[in-house]
Chain A
Amino acid sequence: MSRVAEFIFRRRGRSGWHWTDVFTWVWLIGGLFIMFGPAVWLVGSSFKSPAALAEFPPTIMPYVTQKATVEGYDKPLDLYEVTMPDGSKTVLAEVRRIGIVSQMVSPDKPTEIVKVKIAERTPVRTMSFATSNYSEPFTHFDFVRYLWNSVFVTVTATLITLIVNSMAAFALSKYEFRGRTFAMLLILATLMVPLSVIMVPLYSIVSALGLFNNLWGVILPTVATPTGVFILRQYMLTIPDELIDAARMDKASEWQIYWRIILPLTAPALAVLAIFSVVWRWNDFLWPLIVLSRKELYTLQVGLSIYSGELNVQWHFILAMTVVTMIPVVLVFIFLQRFITTGIAGTGLK
């Protein structure tokens, strides 16, 4: 046991706890709570009923007050555990509350009303997961449509990004032509032109092309990403030119060389770009917010933000939809994190 502890809390130097060791563990454990806590709280809250969400102080787990149907009453009544004057405890159902006095009936004897001070009763609660928070948006709202729009935008934009940028990277890495450096510089220079700078004229161009309120208006402006060309070109430069020369001898067309030789060899870099592209396009917000004004075209991000900005926010649905929106990215995080972290460390590009 002590050897395990020694391994876990490996310290600087040989003896005693240096202050940096204490600080390290305080920082790490604190970080664990601050980084994961909010997301865990979100997921936990998303299973609570609207009544439980309005409670303060909130409970960690989702609870609901038990109800019982009592003869003579239309609606199910809330059950409470009541301390009777003689000190015994019974379970009664509340009919109505007037000030600090509650009128209650026993489920067994529905006719006899008992008056109880509200301080002397506690609700009977059981843990219950409000899965209707998830199922209802899927059936009653446009949620499925938003989901579909987001999936369509993400998949289409990623496919086009891969094809268009790999073609450009191929031209820029394997051909000698006049203006090659200029084209490369031009592409890199656009890193300086973020969306927030050109959104007004871009909006007019997209409108002029008839792409306003059209998912293609969301997709097309994003697909020619300088980052993509940059990553792919760097990778293609490492592919030996002899392979291409040999293929040309065998009468392969340039298209075949691109498609049959270059693309398969660039697969690792394409995978990195595909992962990035999926995360980018899934998370895009400002541009879809500008281009899409019709409800049925909203992506998940736009739909979520619009619904959450409404006057009476239905938090139970918002929370559940937020969790669903998180899922693809969390999956990417769990399974593909390695690719992303090496991609960032290698290029410094997000």
Chain B
Amino acid sequence: MKADVPKGTGSSLGEAAMAPVRLAMAAIDAPLRWVQRRLGIGGMATFFLLPNMLIFGVFVLLPFFINFAYSMTGGTALFLPDRSFVGGEQYARLFDCANYTDPNSCAEDTFWTAVGNTAWFVLLQVSLMILFSLITALILNRELMARSFWRAVFFFPVLLSPVVVGLIWKWILQRQGLLNFGLYGLGFDPYTWLNDRNWSFAATVGVSIWAHMGFYTLILLAGLQAIPKDLYEAAEMDGTRPARAFWRITLPLLMPNLLVVIVLVLIRAVQIFDEVYVLTGGGPGTSTLYITQYIYETGFATQLRNPGLAAAASILMGAVLVVLTLVQLGLGRKGEKKGARK
């Protein structure tokens, strides 16, 4: 990106609207000059950084650190000073299992159900998401008429809110919905998809792919377009078959982008909540209960809320995310070295 001097000035209406803002800015200039005299020019950096750092500190860093303290306390009290110290008891409770593959043998069985569900969800969603967005990106990279239109088609759901996404699909998958209508035309009886454990799980995977695929397609498309065309021309002249060109040119050169996308999809899949909460509410039963919903319900929503247990679970999830992010940062640096854009 390059900074340009903005062309032209705003309309006279815009100018009029800006007048009070100008006045206010001029008015606070005098006290700020006084501040500047006290701090010196270099000290003004602190002044500019302060609001951001204050908000960061209070709403991100502070909660991050007291989360650890929370996870070592028990009881239902909200504020930390009122809570009793229990050491590693919450973690012990989360890990208290006779058999880790069977959630029913665990003291905190919903946690392990949520972990298991999330693992399956991540496995399926990430692999299908990568597959679909890669295919779409490859197709959009071809010589197409109205390419920007087709790109917009696949990008459209990305901007929709998760609640809207959840409701759209809840409406389509319900008994009188569009899916049953289509199947009815083919001679099938209507079915309540979201009351079925397996189908509702499949629905959460499918809907989350539908909603976010366009985003990753866009990143992969940018990577594809950065591959020099003359490589393909040279390959064609040598009589290389297209399939071979894909494995030998496209895929290796796309790899930095692809790895970043894989990690991004992973990080977001682990935290899946919003659209699933609206679509299935975690049900039927606990078949679509994922880890973020477990934390939310343990910490806030149930009668016997247990903030300490929720904090312990969130720290475990955070640890997984930190590992994934570090992998991403490492990959990003490697990509930059190769001259690829992250």
Chain B contacts of A158 at CB under 8 A? none
Q: Are A285 and B274 in contact (CB under 8 A)?
A: yes
Given pairs A31-B136, A346-B1, 7 additional interface contacts (CB within 8 A): A167-B48, A177-B46, A194-B321, A279-B159, A286-B292, A341-B151, A348-B264
Find B154's partner among A35, A197, A221, A256 (CB 8 Å cutoff). A35
The residue on B at minimum CB distance from A217 is B59
Chain B contacts of A164 at CB under 8 A? 51-52, 55
Closest Cβ–Cβ distance, residue B105 to chain A (whole Å): 27
Q: Are B3 and A238 in contact (CB under 8 A)?
A: yes
Chain B contacts of A205 at CB under 8 A? 58-59, 62-63, 66
Q: Which of A41, A186, A204, A239 has the most CB of B within 10 A?
A: A204
> Which residue numbers of A lie inside 8 Å of B, CB to CB?
7-8, 10, 12, 20, 23-24, 27-28, 31-32, 34-39, 41-42, 45, 53-58, 163-165, 167-168, 170-172, 175-177, 180, 183, 186-187, 190-194, 196-209, 220-221, 223-224, 229, 234-236, 238-239, 248, 253-256, 258-259, 264-269, 279, 282-283, 285-286, 290, 301, 304-305, 308-309, 315, 318-319, 322, 325-326, 329-330, 332-333, 337, 340-341, 344-348, 350
Task: Give the complex CA separation of A170 and B292 in angstroms.
Answer: 36
Q: List, sorted by A's number, 15 A–B pairs whose CB atoms are closer than 8 Å.
A: A20-B242, A35-B156, A39-B156, A39-B160, A171-B47, A198-B63, A205-B62, A206-B59, A234-B1, A255-B36, A264-B6, A283-B161, A326-B161, A344-B219, A346-B341
Closest Cβ–Cβ distance, residue B321 to chain A (whole Å): 6
Interface residues in B22-78 by Cβ distance below 8 A to A read: 25, 28-29, 32-33, 36, 41-42, 44-49, 51-53, 55-56, 58-64, 66-67, 70, 78
Find A224's partner among B33, B46, B60 (CB 8 Å cutoff). B60
Chain B contacts of A340 at CB under 8 A? 159
Q: A24-B139, A341-B155 are in contact. Are A198 and B215 (CB under 8 A)?
A: no
Closest Cβ–Cβ distance, residue A326 to chain B (whole Å): 5
The residue on A at minimum CB distance from B150 is A28
Task: Give the complex CA separation of A53 and B174 in angstroms.
Answer: 11
Per CB-CB distance, the 8 closest pairs between chain A and chain B, nearest first, are A168-B52, A283-B161, A175-B45, A171-B48, A345-B222, A201-B63, A197-B318, A224-B55
Q: Mask for B139-181, Cβ within 8 A of A = 1, else 0?
A: 1001111000011111111111111101111111001111011
Closest Cβ–Cβ distance, residue A50 to chain B (whole Å): 12
Closest Cβ–Cβ distance, residue A224 to chain B (whole Å): 4
Q: Are A192 and B49 in contact (CB under 8 A)?
A: no
Q: Are B63 and A267 in contact (CB under 8 A)?
A: no
The residue on A at minimum CB distance from B37 is A253
Task: Give the complex CA separation of A266 and B1 in angstroms.
Answer: 11
Closest Cβ–Cβ distance, residue A201 to chain B (whole Å): 4
The residue on A at minimum CB distance from B34 is A253
Task: Give the complex CA separation of A192 and B168 in angstroms.
Answer: 31
- Indicate whether B254 reaches chain A with its CB closer than 8 angstroms: no
Q: Are B278 and A305 in contact (CB under 8 A)?
A: yes
Task: Give the complex CA separation of A341 and B146 in angstroms.
Answer: 16
Closest Cβ–Cβ distance, residue A311 to chain B (whole Å): 12
Chain B contacts of A238 at CB under 8 A? 1-3
Task: Give the complex CA separation of A193 and B267 in angstroms.
Answer: 11
Chain B contacts of A326 at CB under 8 A? 160-161, 164
Q: A196-B292, A285-B161 are in contact. Are A201 and B49 (CB under 8 A)?
A: no
Q: A165-B52, A234-B1, A254-B36 are in contact. Are A221 and B59 (CB under 8 A)?
A: yes
Find B160's partner among A31, A45, A329, A350 (CB 8 Å cutoff). A329
Task: Give the complex CA separation of A306 and B314 in angstroms.
Answer: 25
- Indicate whether B221 reaches chain A with its CB closer than 8 angstroms: yes
Task: Give the complex CA separation of A345 and B260 in angstroms.
Answer: 12
Q: Are A58 and B178 in contact (CB under 8 A)?
A: yes
Chain A contacts of B5 at CB under 8 A? 265
Chain A contacts of B64 at CB under 8 A? 190, 193, 197-198, 201
Q: Are A34 and B3 in contact (CB under 8 A)?
A: no
Chain A contacts of B115 at CB under 8 A? none
Q: Are B221 and A345 in contact (CB under 8 A)?
A: yes
Find A255's partner among B32, B59, B159 (CB 8 Å cutoff). B32
Q: Are B322 and A192 in contact (CB under 8 A)?
A: yes
Q: Are A200 and B154 in contact (CB under 8 A)?
A: no
- Indicate whether B304 reaches chain A with its CB closer than 8 angstroms: no
Chain B contacts of A8 at CB under 8 A? 145
Chain B contacts of A54 at CB under 8 A? 176
- Indicate whether B281 reaches chain A with its CB closer than 8 angstroms: yes
Chain A contacts of B214 at CB under 8 A? 35
Q: Are A286 and B60 in contact (CB under 8 A)?
A: no
Interface residues in B290-318 by Cβ distance below 8 A to A read: 292, 295-296, 299-300, 307, 310-311, 314-315, 317-318
Q: A34-B210, A200-B311 are in contact. Are A337 and B155 (CB under 8 A)?
A: yes
Q: A38-B178, A45-B171 are in contact. Are A196 and B295 (CB under 8 A)?
A: yes
- Indicate whether B190 reaches chain A with its CB closer than 8 angstroms: yes
